[in-house]
Amino acid sequence: MRAEEGKCLLDAGHFSGSYYLTGYAVECAFKAVIAAHCERYEFPDKAFATACYTHDLRVLIKLAQLQDVFLNSIASSGAFRENWEAVSEWSEVARYRSKVSAHKAQCLYLACAGQPKGVLPWIEQYW
Count of other CB atoms within 10 angstroms of residue 35: 12
Judge whether residue 98 has pLDDT over 90: no
Backbone angles phi, psi at 87, to 5 degrees: -70, -40
Amino acid at residue number 32: A
Q: How far apart are CA 102 and CA 63, in angstroms?
A: 32
Q: What is the pLDDT of residues 32-79, one digit of tens each?
A: 999 999 888 888 899 999 999 999 999 999 999 999 999 999 999 999
Q: Is 47 exposed, middle or buried (0-12, 13-18, 19+ CB in 10 A)?
A: exposed
Amino acid at residue number 34: I
For the whole prediction, is pTM greater than 0.95? Answer: no
